[in-house]
Amino acid sequence: MKKDNLLDEFYSLVQVDDSDGHYAQDIRDNNYFGMPLEAVVKAERRLRSQTERCIAYFSMEYGLATSCYNKLSSQLALNPSNKIPENAVFSNFRVADYFFALHQNNILDLPIYSGGLGVLAGDTVKTMADYKLPVAAIGILWNSGYFRQKFWFKYGQAPEKMRWDPYTYPGLIPLKNIIKISLKPEDVYLRLWKYYVYSYQHDAVVPLILLDSNIEPNSQRAKNLTDQLYRSDNVFLKLLQRVMLGFGGVSALNDLGYNIDTYHLNEGHAVFAFIAKSRGMDKDKLEALKSKFVYTCHTPVEAGHDRFFFDDLNKVLNKEDTDIIERFGKERSGLANLTLLSMNISAAINAVSHNHQKVMHIQFPSYKDQIQYVTNGVHPGTWMSQEFQDLFGKFPETFVDFKANPMILSRAAELKRNADFRLQLWQAHQSNKNNLCKLLEKWKLDKNLFTICWARRVAAYKRPSLILHDISRLVRIAQQVGPLQIILAGKAHPNDNLGFTYINEMLDKVDKLNEDYDKLKIIVLENYDISLGKLLSSSVDVWLNNPLPPFEASGTSGMKAIMNAVLQMSTVDGWVAEATDKKIGAFFGYKNNEGSVGDESDLHMNADSEELYCALERMVGLYYKTNQNGKLNSASEWIDMMIECISTAAKFNTYRMVDQYKQQIWKIA
């Protein structure tokens, strides 16, 4: 196709709001922010075709990081607010904390996610693009992101409102399309934005449509609806954020002329999409509509299931809409339950790991036959470090075409006796670890010392402070078995008081440490994000995962780690329960009774920290037999486990996951 025609067709399909020619440098000829424009035009055409079975994927959050994979580039000057800020460090080497900060100088992650759910949605969409699936993803343009975490010395986390500039974020473009959502108190107008998620290998894209209420003529109240992700301090904000996603998403798809066959609700947040589609339908049509919806549940935690009073719904929605909610989503207590609603209106329901399925079967016995499971995964192109991509590339006979087919990683086991592979594997790991040491140079991180990391959302069931539970025990391990470097990171939801308490506790314990810093380093990093997540999960020796079973529906950060041969120390929960036959580290801790949904309030801190320390002693001992002051014992069992990590990654990735969604859930295989 001729270049000019391509550009014309793009502008006819995508109504870019660019009255001042802002984007003329970035969208020209056959170029879209440094990527091929043709892929965009193809995707836009397919979504409007009458013959394809297109999928709309709805999610409240998307974890997409330009610094890790979505390498769109812009000629526009990057607004400084779109750079990762200088982050503080809190450690037991307080002098360094006082004088230095972390300078990453990367572009900010697209700030529309809070944690694992968003990262999974981002990884899913990237994989859909790799698979060239006709998909439109729907989300919200959070004008103030989630929040920026500031450490307030040792007193804990001070959440700061974050500012960023969508107009200069590479690849993100505002459209002329404005849609109207009619609600009882007032109409809300939403501007549509687009961000194209590219597959670099397969030259295909999935458009992500983002909804934004921060426009005229909305009232200030309405403008605030898309300000901050997961505002929960006010029931109407919470409700209306969900209404925006569902109603807004359906209107947006109509306005863009997309022809959607399957609506995928990534969490019940988006279930109002069904309500919007159901208007004016009789019984038969409603049944037919149900065959078009599928629902993925992501949490067994009580707070993860949204409930609303009908009185509150009635203040916002019209009667026809609340009638449908009453019919499909009213629980025995009389509340509207979005999980129940989602299950009742969906043709396929899935949990996100085998363990999670078992819990859901207990939580929702009458849906037992319908609840399947598709274990989560991580996107290899995003999370496999360059060092490891290069390493696999050097053994092409074993890892044939591993980029297109990560399942081939299972063959790593064949190289167990290959001395050259064992050595190069270690070197690749040390090279990754060296990157972390460089970033933390001022904190004197040493690449020949045992390094373990806990980094994730700070929520009670994840037990962020378990490894610090008995500091004197930790000190003894460091003195008697070998030096320890411990890295901790994570944000607590601003309204989660318990989460705050954990961060306080962590900082306070680190502050009080008097142990020789060369023996025990504990470093707490501010503002955990995707680029830190990638660096940490690929570079430490051991990834620590200690949720209280059975509350981790899946968890994904450990999957990022095994893809980079980082060993696991983990309780048996979420995805890990499907890998206990693999020698990928140490499993420990409380096991819940399979017939019950568990007790979130009993965290088993004493018993489980004891088990954690025993596992730690074994791992540290083995580590120092493997790495003796930089001298490698390449016959060590440690290397066997690193290899087993890689072969296990053959299963826990989004290619396997999307294959299963195609077969079991979307039924397009």
| Minimum distance from residue 576 beta carbon to ligand PLP (Å) | 10
Going by C-alpha positions, the residue among 516, 508, 510, 525 that lies closest to residue 440 is 525
Under the criterion CB under 6 A, does residue 587 sit at the interface with ligand PLP?
no
**b/e per residue 97-114 (b: at least 16 CB within 10 A):** beebebebebbbbbbbbb
Task: Please state the three-class secondary structure of 71-113 as a single string.
Answer: CCCCCCCCCHHHECCCECEEECCHHHHHHCCECCCCECCECCC
CB-closest chain residue to ligand PLP: 533
499, 550, 555, 585: which one contacts ligand PLP (CB under 6 A)? 555
Q: Please compute, for residue 176, the number of CA atoms within 13 A of its CA located in the half-sphere on the CB side.
A: 9
231, 447, 456, 651: which one contacts ligand PLP (CB under 6 A)? 456
| Minimum distance from residue 588 beta carbon to ligand PLP (Å) | 17
Q: Please compute, for residue 230, the number of CA atoms within 13 A of its CA located in the half-sphere on the CB side.
A: 21
Under the criterion CB under 6 A, does residue 119 sit at the interface with ligand PLP?
yes
Going by C-alpha positions, the residue among 438, 633, 407, 652 that lies closest to residue 543 is 652
174, 533, 550, 589: which one contacts ligand PLP (CB under 6 A)? 533
If the CB atoms of residues 568 and 647 are measured against ligand PLP, the closer one turns out to be 568
Under the criterion CB under 6 A, does residue 317 sit at the interface with ligand PLP?
no
d(C-alpha 18, C-alpha 594), whole Å:
57
532 near 453, Cβ under 8 Å? no
97, 529, 578, 608: which one contacts ligand PLP (CB under 6 A)? 529
Task: Please state the three-class secondary structure of 588-614 as a single string.
Answer: CCCCCCCCCCCCCCCCCHHHHHHHHHH
Task: Please state the three-class secondary structure of 259-294 as a single string.
Answer: CEEEEEEECHHHCHHHHHHHCCCCHHHHHHHHCCEE
d(C-alpha 244, C-alpha 438), whole Å:
44
Number of residues that bind ligand PLP (CB under 6 A): 13
d(C-alpha 238, C-alpha 165), whole Å:
24
111, 115, 329, 585: which one contacts ligand PLP (CB under 6 A)? 115
If the CB atoms of residues 89 and 453 are measured against ligand PLP, the closer one turns out to be 453
Under the criterion CB under 6 A, does residue 530 sit at the interface with ligand PLP?
yes
Q: 501 CB contacts (<8 Å, ≥6 apart)?
A: none
Under the criterion CB under 6 A, does residue 35 sit at the interface with ligand PLP?
no
344 near 547, Cβ under 8 Å? no
Stretch that binds ligand PLP, among 253-261, 438-446, 551-559, 611-619 (CB under 6 A): 551-559
111, 116, 156, 494: which one contacts ligand PLP (CB under 6 A)? 116
Binding track over 485-524 against ligand PLP, x by CB under 6 A:
----------------------------------------
* Residue 327, both tokens: 């019919």
If the CB atoms of residues 114 and 214 are measured against ligand PLP, the closer one turns out to be 114
The residues with which 210 forms a beta bridge, in sequence order, are 139, 193
If the CB atoms of residues 447 and 462 are measured against ligand PLP, the closer one turns out to be 462
Under the criterion CB under 6 A, does residue 162 sit at the interface with ligand PLP?
no
Could you say which residues in the range 182-241 bind ligand PLP, by CB under 6 A? none
Stretch that binds ligand PLP, among 111-119, 191-199, 311-319, 610-618 (CB under 6 A): 111-119
If the CB atoms of residues 70 and 337 are measured against ligand PLP, the closer one turns out to be 70
Under the criterion CB under 6 A, does residue 300 sit at the interface with ligand PLP?
no
d(C-alpha 455, C-alpha 452), whole Å:
10
Under the criterion CB under 6 A, does residue 381 sit at the interface with ligand PLP?
no
* Residue 179, both tokens: 């849609």
Under the criterion CB under 6 A, does residue 528 sit at the interface with ligand PLP?
yes
Under the criterion CB under 6 A, does residue 179 sit at the interface with ligand PLP?
no
Dihedral-angle region of residue 549 (phi above 0 means left; psi in -120 to 50 means alpha; beta otherwise) = beta
Helix (H) / strand (E) containing 202 = none
If the CB atoms of residues 352 and 481 are measured against ligand PLP, the closer one turns out to be 352
If the CB atoms of residues 96 and 378 are measured against ligand PLP, the closer one turns out to be 378
| Minimum distance from residue 656 beta carbon to ligand PLP (Å) | 17
Binding site for ligand PLP (CB under 6 A): 115-116, 119, 456-457, 528-530, 533, 555-557, 560
